[in-house]
Homo-oligomer: A and B are copies of this chain.
């Protein structure tokens, strides 16, 4: 059985290498500009091999988008699962905010995000995939966590979806838009990002935390 497992591993590695080559090509040349031929060359495989793994360019890009958004969701799911048993919500919310921001301010991720937006009208399936599999999945993880916190009376009763939207919004609006518009993903130092994360977590707790006892 060893040989089968080795083959699976080799095939999986090749698959991953093709996806990385494609990511590099898309970022360098745009979605329209990167050809399947160039991607095959970058990956060091034949066009046939590339097409055996990915039916066409749109599916290839979609798979990259899903892998990327899946990574983000995994981080958020991990951190939010830790919130359920929190004994210090203020500091755990700051930790969640910092980890989300660090994960999302990744240069390759932001460049892919811009590519998806740029092609949203030409290739609407990509934008919808990013939105549904990335954006909305993160909101769903957060929303579930906030609902549990409301049940424990650590947050005041509220619509958990609105709470999740507002948490993410306050955290990401400035740094993500700055990166989208300036094309520069490194405008903010780690300590800037930390301060922004803390400010968002604190404002969220002021808005959604338990009402002060009177």
Instruction: Please name the residue on chain B nearest to A130 by beta carbon.
Output: B181
Instruction: Please name the residue on chain B nearest to A212 by beta carbon.
Output: B212
The answer on a CB contact under 8 Å between A117 and B117 is yes
Q: Judge whether A206 is part of the interface by a CB distance below 8 angstroms.
A: yes
A30 to B162, CA, bound (A): 35
A124 to B207, CA, bound (A): 36
- What residues of B have a CB within 8 angstroms of the CB of A180 in the complex? 117, 120, 127
Q: Judge whether A200 is part of the interface by a CB distance below 8 angstroms.
A: yes
The answer on a CB contact under 8 Å between A131 and B165 is no
CB distance from A190 to the nearest CB of B (A): 19
CB distance from A200 to the nearest CB of B (A): 7
Give the contacting residue for A127; candidates B118, B181, B206; CB below 8 A: B181
A212 to B206, CA, bound (A): 12
CB distance from A108 to the nearest CB of B (A): 13
On A, residues with C-beta under 8 Å from B are 114, 116-118, 120-121, 124, 127-128, 130-131, 135, 159, 162, 165-166, 168-170, 172-174, 177-178, 180-184, 199-200, 203-204, 206-208, 211-212, 214
